[in-house]
Amino acid sequence: MPTSKTTVISVVGGKRSGKTTTIEALTKELTKRGFTIAVIKHVSEPDFTIDTKGKDTWKFAEAGARKIISIANNEIAVIEKTNTKNITLREILEHSKTADITFLEGFKKLTISNDKIPKIIAAKTAEEADEFSKNFKPVIAIAGIYPAGERNPNTPCIDILKHPEQLADIIEKIVKQDTFVA
């Protein structure tokens, strides 16, 4: 089902709220259904690097290479050395344009005011879900492990560990309607 467009879904929530767990469960379920998935994760640690000091890829970057591509038996890794302070959402999504669905993990500042990207709120408590619901629109679901149907009657609250297929059904409808496509 490859396309040149990707449906973008943002998963937001506080620290340790279940964002990664939500994306992992959805990726498993949607991959079984034949979709290709890309995940773009925001890493907030200021000095984080995927590269390892002393390895060849690190040495190439230290020598001045701005893009390093490493090809192994089962993967291709692209390390792009660039300033991301002012990176735009469009620039970020260029890296996933061949996927059917792209999940964004984090990126709260880039997605908070973008009503063209549906949001899934990962939350540990009803209060946390309520707080994120005030600021992020549109919210297509809340992924949490608490019973919150009465607190958020217009937004489905799904226990992602027990019922990932319910949230995958919502996303599949969005993809088929060709809405929220980047």
Domain coverage including residue 18: 7-46+84-176
The edge-to-edge listing of strands for the beta sheet with 157-158 is 37-41, 101-105, 7-12, 119-123, 139-144, 157-158
pLDDT of 152 reads 59
Residue 79 and residue 180: Cα distance in Å, rounded?
28
**Which pLDDT value is given to residue 1?**
35
Using a 10 angstrom Cβ sphere, with 0-12 exposed, 13-18 middle and 19 or more buried, the burial of residue 36 is: middle
Residue 181 has pLDDT above 80, yes or no: no
Positions of E strands within 13-87: 37-41, 67-71, 76-80
**pLDDT tens, residue by residue, 13-60:** 988 889 999 999 999 999 999 999 999 988 776 777 777 788 888 898
| Per-residue confidence (pLDDT) for residue 150, from 0 to 100 | 47
Average confidence (pLDDT) over 85-101: 86
Asked whether the beta carbons of 39 and 27 are under 8 A apart, the reply is: yes
Question: What pLDDT score does 182 carry?
Answer: 55
pTM (2 decimals)?
0.83
User: 74 lies in a domain?
Assistant: no
Which CATH number is 24's domain given?
Answer: 3.40.50.300
- How far is residue 37's CA from residue 128's CA, in Å, rounded to a whole number? 27
Query: Would you say residue 141 lies in a domain?
Result: yes
Query: What pLDDT is stored for residue 179 in this prediction?
Result: 56
Residue 35 lies in a domain: yes
Cβ-Cβ contacts under 8 Å for 139 (sequence gap 6 or more): 118, 119, 120, 121, 132, 133, 155
Instruction: Name which of 6-10, 128-132, 176-180 the model is least confident about.
Output: 176-180
129: helix, strand or coil: helix
Q: Report pLDDT digits (tens) over 119-162.
A: 999 988 888 888 888 888 899 999 976 555 445 567 888 889 99
Distances (CA, A) of 22 to 1, 39, 140, 156: 23, 12, 13, 14
pLDDT score of 103: 94
In a domain, 57, yes or no: no
pLDDT tens string 94-126: 888 889 999 999 888 888 888 889 999 998 888
pLDDT for 140:
92
Of the listed ranges 4-8, 42-46, 164-168, 170-174, the least confidently predicted one is 42-46
Asked whether residue 139 is domain-assigned, the answer is yes
Question: What's the structural domain count of the chain?
Answer: 1
